[in-house]
Amino acid sequence: MKSTGETTNTTEKEQKLPVTEKNGTAPEKTEHILNRLIIGAGVCVAVIAVLIGVKLYRQDRQMDITEPFARSMVLASDPLSAEKRFQAETLSADLCVGETSVPLNDISFSSQVKAGLFDLDHKKVLFAQNMYDQVYPASITKIMTLLLIFENLEKGKIKLEDEVVTSAHAKSMGGSQVFLEEGEVQTVETMIKCIVVASANDASVAMAEKICGSEEAFVERMNARAKELGMTETHFCDCCGLTSDEQHYTSARDVALMSRELITKYPEIYRYTKIWMEDITHVTQKGSTPFTLSSTNKLLKQYEYTTGLKTGSTSVAKYCFSATAHKDGIDLIAVVMAAPDHKVRFADAKTLLTYGFSVCSIYHDANTDTLPKLKVKGGVEDTVSLRYDKEFRYLDLNGQDMSGVTKKWELSETVPAPATEGEKAGEAVYYLGEQRLGSVDILYAQTVEQADYGDYIKSIFKDTFIISHFLV
């Protein structure tokens, strides 16, 4: 113990002295240590370079298997200008496109009307009879008026509880009305009920003035919106359909388009279209008086699947009807224009809807199954998770056995970074035998950024203990 202590003290003392030529031990040790460090550093660099090279090589090999679906889509040439592409997409995305006439099989139907039967979700034409012919729309016009009202509600420009003051112009409307007095105040929601249930011309004009300041300005917006929807056979001259101006016209197909836009984007409209009778209160200088709104849609009591939508009639337009109905997960729109009387319009609409539900069946996939993860080339993560864009629904009109439907994923094995959440990664395609039924987009469920050199270094240190083991 004593000698050990003496050795320790001597060593400590010598460590405090400067190194000289006489002490040859220290320089030799230092040189040896430096040599080891230099060699170690060189080996580290070599190992890192090799590992990075291997990783990049593997990723390149994986990439050679197939091109990513999303990338191949982006690289596709597009001869259309941005403006023309917008117009094309606008005119095709939500259109029910079909022949002028698509007959019914062994179904009795009035020959003189312009009509169509349309599937709401799948944009299919189940029946058409001169559906592109231009006709007077009468109060069917109010579907576009209601669409603009609900769009303004969505944007927050108006609220259901906002007050609407009736002008002298609005009061002067004839035809179907709720007899609003000049200066009378009603809420936006009450005005909506008056328009939907009682087809009130005065309430329609009052709302047009509320939103745009004048009926003329509102009508301009109606025509602009019609163009956006691809309503190629439509032009409006007023907001209620009372006019007999020959420049106020539409078609059965166009009525279906604006009906579809209204009920798909604003299903809350059904709260009002299903009302059979409801009282409102007129509050004027003369006092308060009750007034009963009575629905013009008699199909509500004649056909149990009815959900809406709007009737119309004038001497020049005759009798018109855009009828909506729901049964077994299927939504249909039946449009009847220029019927000779109100009985024919309701009977024809019922005939169309009954026929539609008899030939239609729905295949539905909620897409709750688990999708695989895709390998990512050059990303900060090795894989990226996926999700379905939406559920899949297919409308069958041919009585096929849908139990044999199969689903196939069209995905690349490897995708390049970055992979951005919400972007398309591939498709889930549905088949019945060899028949392709449709598809649903598969999207990235997360974002994986592109890796830089530092990320590669971190990845290597994470995946291997070679370097750390060597340094120890």
Which residues carry out catalysis? Answer: 139, 142, 199
Spatial separation of the C-alpha atoms in residues 370 and 367, rounded to whole Å: 8
Alpha carbon distances (Å) from 25 to 18, 19, 30, 31, 34:
13, 9, 9, 10, 15
Burial (0-12, 13-18, 19+ Cβ within 10 Å), 368: exposed
Q: What is the Cα–Cα distance from 138 to 98, expressed in whole angstroms? A: 24
- Residue type at position 165: V
How many Cβ atoms from other residues are within 10 Å of residue 364's Cβ?
A: 11
- DSSP labels, 53-71: HHHHHHHHHHHTT---HHH
What is the chain's length?
472
Residue with tokens 């390998």: 375
CA gap 346, 297 in Å, rounded? 9
Of 407, 415, 468, which is closest to residue 446 (Cα–Cα)?
415
At 164, which amino acid appears? V
DSSP H helix total and E strand total for the chain: 15, 19
Q: Is the dihedral of CA 353, 354, 357, 360 positive or negative?
A: negative
Whole-angstrom CA distances from 392 to 70, 119, 260, 368, 388 are 20, 15, 19, 11, 10
Crossing angle (nearest 10°) for helices 142-154 and 252-265: 30
* Helix residue spans in 64-97 (DSSP H): 69-74, 82-93
Token representation of residue 400:
């096929």
Residues 201, 216: Cα–Cα separation, whole Å: 15
In the block, tokens 């449709």 appear at 438
Q: Which two tokens stand for residue 9?
A: 């003290």
Sheet holding 383-384, edge to edge: 383-384, 374-377, 414-416
* Burial class of residue 253 (count of CB atoms within 10 Å of its CB; 0-12, 13-18, 19+): buried
CA 220/CA 386 separation, integer angstroms:
44
Q: Residue 370: CA atoms inside 13 Å, Cβ hemisphere, count?
A: 2
Token output for 202: 């005065």
Radius of gyration, CA atoms only, the chain: 36
